[in-house]
Amino acid sequence: MEDRPLDYPLNANIDPETSVTGWIHPNATVSPKAQLEAGIRIDAYSSIGPGVRLGAGVHIGTHAVVTGRTTVGPGTRIFPFATVGVPPQDLKYRGEKTELVIGARNTIREYANISVGTEQGGGQTRLGDENMIMAYTHIAHDCVLGSGCVLTNMVQLAGHVVVEDLALLSGGVGVHQFVRIGRLAMVAANSAVLQDVPPFALAIGSPARVKSLNSTGLSRHGFQQADIIQLKKAYRVLFDVSRRFQDRLIAIAEDSHPAVQHLVDFVRSSERGICGSEE
């Protein structure tokens, strides 16, 4: 059975403020309480729940499930068999009205699984804009992703994980609950991340340890050689085990470079400790 354009969908609400011609396959299941904006496409055998809002131009692939109190930002594409907005895998959850908020132009690939938040974690799981969530990735309750992140196939984020902008997690990476991954950090494949990965770092291993600065990633995102040299100096001080940890931080904080200051702020606010340091 072919798709067909619909001025008024058969089984869902289109935002009345827009002039809509969306596409909903007749074999899709869409709640009449779902809110759909202009230009959406919902393929066959997908399921859209009553608490869902789909932004303009969202494309839901065949057999995908979008449920719960879930907002999907404009231009996002959800591929076949992904499950988005499902209840958290948390024994404390009792059906509270928590939510998932996904920003604009995200790509969520096959069999990815993303949970809504929990009351204990603030009630919301959040993704920013233009993230690539590859196949079989799990994003648990109360996680917060920035924008421009890449979560490669089979990345597993436990609850309350924070991933800052432009971070890259390679295939099979597992991240412990409450861990933070810093801006433009890269974690190598199959690593087990038990403590915070500082911004701009390349981490590898089980447990993950900081190997070096993520110089390639920095260059690709417009950092000049002078910036990279400045960060390398800061990293040498940060992991100089011959000095007290607090003395290292004080020394680094004297550098006014914005990236170095972000590194200092991140390390100072760490609750689980920084991977690769002795404290």
Which helix or strand (DSSP H or E) is residue 266 part of? helix 258-268
Query: Could you confirm whether 141 is annotated as catalytic?
Result: yes
Query: Could you confirm whether 3 is annotated as catalytic?
Result: no
Residues 86 and 139: their CA atoms lie apart, in Å, by: 11
* Backbone phi and psi for residue 211, each to the nearest 5 degrees, phi listed first: -95, -40
Residue of 22, 68, 73, 159 with catalytic role: 159
| Bridge partners for 107 per DSSP | 77, 132
The identity of residue 237, as a single letter, is V
Q: SS3 of 65, please?
A: strand
Residues 255 and 11: their CA atoms lie apart, in Å, by: 59
Query: Could you confirm whether 159 is annotated as catalytic?
Result: yes
Quote the distance between the C-alpha of residue 53 and its chain's center.
Answer: 19
List Cα–Cα distances, 214 to 51, 132, 181, 217, in angstroms: 40, 19, 13, 5
Spatial CA neighbour of 10 closest among 2, 24, 243: 24
Residue of 25, 59, 138, 141 with catalytic role: 141
Residue of 103, 117, 138, 142 with catalytic role: 142
Per the document, the length of the chain is 279
- Provide the 8-state DSSP code for 15: P
Q: Which residues are the active-site residues?
A: 141-142, 159
